[in-house]
Amino acid sequence: MIYKTRTESAELLMLKSLGVRMELPEKDKLHYLSLQKGYDGEVMFDSFTEKLQSECLILNDLLFKINNTVFQIDSLIITAAVIHFYEVKNFEGDYYYESERLYTRSKTEINNPLTQLNRGVSLFRQLLQSLGINMKIDPSVVFINPAFTLYQTPLDKPFIFPTQLNRHLNGIDKTSAKLSTKHKQLAAQLVSLHCTDSPYKQIPSYTFEGLRKGMLCFKCASFSLAVEGHNCVCGECGYVEKVGEAVMRSVKEFRLLFPGEKITTGVIYEWCGIVESKERIRKILGKNYKKVGVRQWSYFE
């Protein structure tokens, strides 16, 4: 049972939005691509775990803070006797393992995912101890990409490769017992302790004036939308969406990028760009938010 679903982080959503509204610096482009690839790998992993038939609780995408230290967990699977702890990597290409280090085929050393795994498990164990929980933790690094090869893999490392993942999850299905109330209480506690936003986001500086205005297509993220009656129609992919829904998506994007700014008719009219009148924007905002103030001082919350 999926107890906590996975969603794109605020950092990834912000970079995705900024990537089409401004020219990202090269380091931020690379960071965005890395985040996106990591998220895609985690979603791929989810497509396997969601098929589990046994009694278990699956918690995805967790962010915790303990002793002033923030750490992230890709996925947990709580079973009756064991908490399975997963670090998911979407590496692609040929790598080799040597002297506790991981290298690309071109002999470039990369961060050993075991280091991240061990750090996360240690901090998670401390978190469980603070909750008075004493359960076995079974940690693994999952290499999810089928186009990944690791040469010289030591047999004693907690690595799971694409060809082994189904067998690993089948093992969970075969050995899991019935969950008790304490397992569900633990899952609820962990979700309540989850931090919704990371303090370590890497976002380039930007301003409202410096960003390209306009509504993005929900399907292809292009600026090719045009208002046709009650609908927005994408000239790029043909996707059709109600104008009100498209405007509210744009408001959500604006709030993500400018959390301290007030939602006003004028600002959202400028942000959307293609809606023909402020009055239409005002009506859409009025249906979805509470209006505060009057005349030029009014805003929506």
pLDDT digit string, tens, across residues 201-247? 999 999 999 999 999 999 999 999 999 999 999 999 999 999 999 99
Q: Please choose, from the candidates 56, 63, 9, the residue with its C-alpha nearest in 3D space to the C-alpha of residue 191.
A: 63
Listed in sequence order, the residues at least 6 apart from 87 whose beta carbon sits closer than 8 Å to its beta carbon are: 74, 113, 116, 117, 120, 139, 140, 141, 142
Chain position carrying tokens 């049972």? 1
Mean pLDDT of 17-44: 97
pLDDT band at 200 (very low <50, low <70, confident <90, very high): confident
pLDDT, residue 197, reads 84
- Show the tokens assigned to 141: 């690094």
pLDDT band at 38 (very low <50, low <70, confident <90, very high): very high
Its pTM stands at: 0.92
Q: What are phi and psi of 152, to 5 degrees?
A: 60, 40
